[in-house]
Each structure stands twice: as C-alpha cells, then as structure tokens.
A and B are shown apart, each in its own frame.
Chain A
Amino acid sequence: MLFAKPLGQLGRSLWIEWRIALRFLADNPLQTFLISVAISVGAAVIVFITALIMGLQNNTIDKTLGTQAHIRIEATRQHNILSAAPHGQYLWVLESPRAQRLQTINNWQEVRDALDQYGVLTTVSPLITGPAFAQNGTARASIALMGIDPNRYDGIIKLQDYLRAGRFSVGASDVMIGSQLAEDLGLRVGDKLRLDAGDDRQAVSKVVGVFELGVRELDSRYVYTDLKQAQTLLNLPGGITMLELKIADIFDAEHWAQRFKKLTGLHVQSWMETNSQLLNALSSQSMTTQMIRVFVALSVIFGIASVLAVSVVQRTREVGILRAMGGSQQQILRVFLLQGGLLGLAGSALGVLVGYSLVQLFNTMSELLFVIRLEPSMLLSAIMISTAAGVIAAAVPARRAAQYDPAVAIRYV
C-alpha cells in the first residue's frame, strides 16, 4: 500500500514515454526490423548453443555416471607402519608398498545407517566385490564378483532397465551376468556356471538374468549375486568392501566426499576424482559456451547501442520539440531506455522462437544421438536478460539525448 501511490504516478507518467518510444520505433520500421533480426540471431545462437552443450553434457554424464556411483567408500588403504628413528639418528628405509588385500569396512552397517541420515544422498548401497573366475565346461573368464543388496543397488544402477533376458534376481544360487560374458562362455538364461574365487572356494550358480550396460568392460566382467554368496566366496563373512553413494547434485560429490572422509576416516573417492579428465572436458566445454554467450551478448548490446546512437541523432529535432513542449530530461531519458528495452524484448522473443525451432530441428535430425531439452526457465531468462541488456545498451545514447540543449536541438535539421 505504501508504494501504491508512487507506483501509480510512475505508471501514469510513463504512459507518454511508452507511447513516444513505440511510435519512434514504428516510425522507422526498417531500422527497427533490422536490429530486431540482429538481436534475434544473437539470442537464437545463445539459446541453441546453451541447449546443445547442456544436452551434450547431460548425455555424457548420463552415459558415464549411469553405470557408476558418485561416491565410493572403501576400507582404509593399508600402509607400512615404520618404527621411529632412535634419538639423534636418521632412518633410511627402502619401502615396498603393501599389497592391498580385500578388506571389509568395519561396522559398515553403522556407517550405512549414519549416511542414510544425509538428505543430499539419494542412495547408500553396500557392495562386496572381488576377483573370481567363471567357468562353463572348459571355458574360463576372469570376472568381478559383485555382491549387492538388491533393494538398495537399484539406486546405483537400475539393472531392471538393462536386462536383455531373464529377470532381476540375486539369491543363494542365482546370478546375473553381462551379455558379453554370456557370449564368451556360451551361457543363456537357465544355464549353470561355476564361480571360483581361489583357495578352493567354489560355487555353482544359475544364470537368471543377462544384462547389457553398454560398456563392454563391464558387460564382460560383472557377475551380480547377493551379499551372502559373495561374502562366502570372497571369504569375508558378514563384510562388505565398498559403500556406493549417489548424490542429488553430482557436482557436489567432491565436497561431500571430503566431508565423509573426515567423518568416517575411510578411503573415500568421488566420481570427480576418478573421472578428472571427463570433468576437465565438461568444465572447458562450459567455459567455451560461456565465452560464446558473453561475446554474442556483447555484440548484441553494442548493436543496440549503435542503432540507438544513430536514432538519437536522427531524433535530435524531435527531442528539442519535446523539451520545448515541457518534456523533462528524465522523460527523454526514459523514452530511449524504453526503446532499448523494447528492441531487446522483441528481438529476443523472436530469437528464442528461432532457437527453439533449431533445437526441434536438431532433435528430429539426430534422434539417435541424444535429445536436447529446452527448459522454459532458460527461454524466459534469455528474454529477460536481453531486455535488460537492451536497457543497458540504451543508457549512453539516452543520456546523450536527455542532455541535448533544447535551444540548439530544435534548430537541428
């Protein structure tokens, strides 16, 4: 209520500024059209590039992170413990690194329950994994045995979606194998295979499902079973080797990994650490996009500014008349600021439309590659930013017009 009156006054006095700004733009339709097209090309490029890069990055991230956890927690690495050097003497040591045998995470149930309390984590899934051989007749293949909690593992990899044959089930004697492994060993759903984890720990299991994650390495090595069978085979009764986590905002992974490291004292790695090259690529892509956007926006701003600078000179006499008719400097200023804003608005609205069509065209042409999604909020912000940019671009010419000496301006021919 407090602002109602001043706002009403501003609205009333802005009426004529709107009118003059619109008339001035309509009075020179070719100029208005050309600059609007220029702005719209800029806006379309920004919209399309942004959408394209976002689509590309989302696609890359999906492909990469779809089959792995965002954060992995493992037991502390083993290292040599050296005795202290006697006082006043130095100790020369030739140290050979320790072999990292399979280790279980101490009190993993407690760690899991503690992590469950964090809202940022969407999934906390225990995993026991270790090397083994799979054997069918005389064919052998080295595999990664994956003992999972089927309910929780769903949040890490939704195996259901990758199943090629059979059903999703892990159990005492049920295993799911990758499609490549099935081919290598000549296995089909219902067939038996022998798992050998060394030291005479063997089991015969039935293939109940064949999955294909789309990553050859994983499809030829992963064999899923339940926690218990894996624990027995890998000789880690009741233990797990890893806690896998998924996080809501994937780019927060490293931050949280550091926190969990401090919290648990365990060996924690985020996907950002293990995929630093991918991250590099993503961030340099983002930077390139950002630069393209900034430069296109700059060229649009200078385009508006130059057109308005010319327009202000063309309108010199009119500005003088308006001043003589009682128009204030502020009114003249607002007339040209509004023109800048209107050009930005019209141009970007058109540009967003063009950008949107380009994206649709891209989606129909490259159906198999990946689909670009356009967020309505992105389109809206593109329009709002362009409108603001138009007002900013108009600032210098508008100030110049407002400061014309009316006595001189009116004689301008």
Chain B
Amino acid sequence: MSNSQLTVSQITGQAVLQLDKLNKIFNADTPLQNHVLHDVSLRVCPSELVALVGTSGSGKSTLLNMMGLLDVSTSGELRIQGHLIQGMSEQQRTQLRSESIGFVFQFHHLISAFSVLDNVLMPLMLRFGKPSKEQIEYAEHLLNEVGLSNYIAQSTSRLSGGQQQRVAIARALVTRPALVLADEPTGNLDTQTADEVFALFERFNVEHQCAIVIVTHDPRLSARCPRTIRLTDGRIVYDGPSADLPSVFTVTP
C-alpha cells in the first residue's frame, strides 16, 4: 500500500475508521478512576495496514475494543464507515460490528465445540442463520487460502497454535469486513509461525482490500506495516510511516 493512495483517500474523506478526541475513563468519579485514553484522534482509510504499538498498559487493547465496538468511550466521537457510534443502541452496535468488523485475538479464541468450518462460518451464521451454499464455499475457499483445506471438518482442539490462528483469520474475513482488528495475533506463536501468520495479513490486506489494524509487541512485524501508531500512557505519541518511527521507540519494551 503506497503512501500516495493513502493521502488521496484521506482527502476524499472515505475513512473506514475515524476517531475524534476519544477519551476513556474507567471507574469515573471514584477513587479508582483510571484515565486510559486521552483525546485520541486518528483515521484509518480503506486498505490500510496499521500497526498499533506501545508498552503494556498504554491503552492499546482498550483502544482496539473501542474500534471494535466491544466497549464505548467516555467522550469523543467514533465513526465506522461514516456511521457515528455515540448514541447508537447496543443492538445497532452489534449489527454494525457484525457487518463491518472482523476480529483476530491473541489466543485465537475459537469455539472448541464446533468444527473448523463452523468456526469460520460462525459470524455469518449468527447474522443470517443456516449458511447458504455460496457462504460455505467462500468459507472453504478462505480455509484453502490459509492452507487448512485438509482440516475443514476437524475439531479445533486438534490444531496447533499457528493453525488455530489461521482459522481465526479466515473467520475474521468471512463477512468481507471493511476493517479487521487484530490484538497481538502473533503474540503466542514462535518466530517462524508468527512470520507466516503475518504474511497472511499482508496478503489479505491487498487481496481483500480491507483495512487492518494490528496491535503488536514485535518491532519486526510493526516495521512491515506501512503505518505505525504509537501509544504511550493513553496518548498518541507517533502516527506516521513505520520507517520514520524514531529509534527511541523501536527498543523492545
């Protein structure tokens, strides 16, 4: 993804994700008050691949939960594909999440009671009920793309960590979301497997034209993303091309 394209979409205002002065305060107005996010503003355009980095406790996961509509902000505005989230009901947020957002979590989070194929189909089944032939074919196609076409009917508990994460990626993509959010998707994997999984993100970013925001601790992987956003103590301290990230930040925490 080149920087020139990024600039064009920013000008035309076609942001997939737009945050304006987002604040999150846990336990507001109590002695345990914890101001996690301070005036976070950013926009993510279609087909962008963004690394979200920062030390633990810097607010990365909270920010990702906001983006994924799993949590609501205390103040500020958040828009997904132009839809303002503040003021939406829980049901409306669930629907928007189901239509626009795919998730990949650190611990792959598959449902072991279901087969590999059913796990991939789950977002579609929750939205539409019994899956259609096309939907099943698309899920099988995705599993084929992540290299798991031989494991379709198997239980997820028999898969290795890397394989499970690849199922989770296929699941995140099955609804053809505009935005995929990944919370340390390689955090639990060895270096080689992590590289393979990350390569999938890069590939799907191009092939499926979806914006991807990846939270990662791994400076090697964040360097492979065109853009990096760095969070420190709930504030954005850097937002720009990964190559230009000041070296003081690249030291592994």
Contact = CB atoms under 8 A, between A and B. Distances in A.
Tell me whether A and B are bound partners: yes
Report which residue of A324, A328, A410 has the largest number of chain B beta carbons within 10 angstroms of its beta carbon: A324
B203 interface: no
A325 B171 contact: yes
Interface string A296-328: 000000000000000000000110111111111
Contacts of B128: 12
Contacts of B94: 323, 326-329
A57 interface: no
B123 A328 contact: no
A16 interface: yes
A92 interface: no
B59 interface: no
Nearest to B181: A324
A205 B18 CA distance: 113
A338 to B, nearest CB: 14
B70 A15 contact: no
B71 interface: yes
Interface in B123-182: 123, 125-130, 171, 175
A14 B128 CA distance: 10
A19 to B, nearest CB: 7
A26 interface: yes
Contacts of B3: none
B196 interface: no
Interface in A268-286: none
A331 B130 contact: no
Contact of B91 (A20, A322, A328): A328
Interface residues of A, number: 29
A23 B111 CA distance: 10
A324 B128 CA distance: 16
B126 A321 contact: no
A26 B130 CA distance: 19
Interface in B86-124: 90-91, 94-95, 97-99, 103, 105, 109-114, 122-123
Contact of A27 (B113, B127, B129): B113
A326 B127 contact: yes
A63 B98 CA distance: 69
Given A13-B129, A407-B70, A410-B105, A329 B113 contact: no
Nearest to B115: A23
Nearest to B174: A325
Nearest to B66: A407
A321 B109 contact: yes
Contacts of B68: 324
B232 interface: no
A325 B70 contact: no
B65 interface: yes
A26 B111 CA distance: 13
A322 B103 contact: no
B34 to A, nearest CB: 15
A274 to B, nearest CB: 65
B130 A12 contact: yes
B103 A16 contact: no
B130 A15 contact: yes
Contacts of A12: 128-130
Contacts of A13: 129
13 contacts: A13-B129, A20-B113, A23-B114, A27-B112, A318-B111, A321-B105, A324-B103, A325-B122, A326-B94, A326-B97, A326-B127, A328-B95, A407-B65
List 5 tightest A-B contacts by C-beta distance, closest first.
A326-B98, A27-B113, A12-B129, A407-B70, A15-B129
